[in-house]
Structure 1
Amino acid sequence: MQILTRALGEHFSIGEDITVSVIGVNGSHVRLGIEAPKNISVHRAEIYERIKNQDPGHLTIGPLVKR
């Protein structure tokens, strides 16, 4: 695990295609903005676990679409 220190408004990159920005800090809560290609799904861990545990025939959640 890599541990990074970032302040509000700063960002870091994952590879060439993904950027994670710190967009808010409120006490122990941190809001992150994630920019990634549409073909890469971004989910919170608990949502990802639900998707992994679905029956193979069920419709899974696809990539989020920017609006």
Structure 2
Amino acid sequence: MLVLTRKLGESIAIDDHIKIVVVSIKGKQVRLGIKAPKETKIHREEVYKAIQDQNEEAAQSDITSLSDLTSDLNKK
């Protein structure tokens, strides 16, 4: 992991298309502004993990449903 130190108003560039700016600092909280192309998905980590969990659950239920269908067809 790359660790950088930035001051208020300073930024970090990622490739040619993403820029992260320190917008404000209040106590232990840092507000970041992110400039990126619209097609770039940006999520807070806890939201990203929730999306992954939901996708895994959906994929698992699809497999179960498919197994049930196959079982039902084999019975006929």
The alignment's TM-score, normalised by the length of structure 2, stands at 0.70
- Give the greater-gyration-radius structure (CA): 2
Number of matched pairs: 56
Give the corresponding residue for 2:19: 19
Q: Aligned AA for 2:31?
A: R
CA–CA distance in 2 between the matches of 1:27 and 1:2?
A: 23
Q: Aligned AA for 2:37?
A: P
After superposing on structure 2, the runs of 4+ consecutive aligned residues of structure 1 that deviate more than 2 Å are none
Q: Percent identity?
A: 45
CA shift for structure 1 position 8: 0.4
Structure 1 gap ranges (5+) = 57-67
Aligned-residue CA RMSD (Å): 0.9
The alignment's TM-score, normalised by the length of structure 1, stands at 0.79
Give the corresponding residue for 2:52: 52
More helix by percentage: 2
Structure 2 gap ranges (5+) = 60-76
CA–CA distance in 2 between the matches of 1:17 and 1:47?
A: 23
Q: Which has the higher contact order (CA 8 A, sep 6+)?
A: 1
SS of 2:40's partner is coil
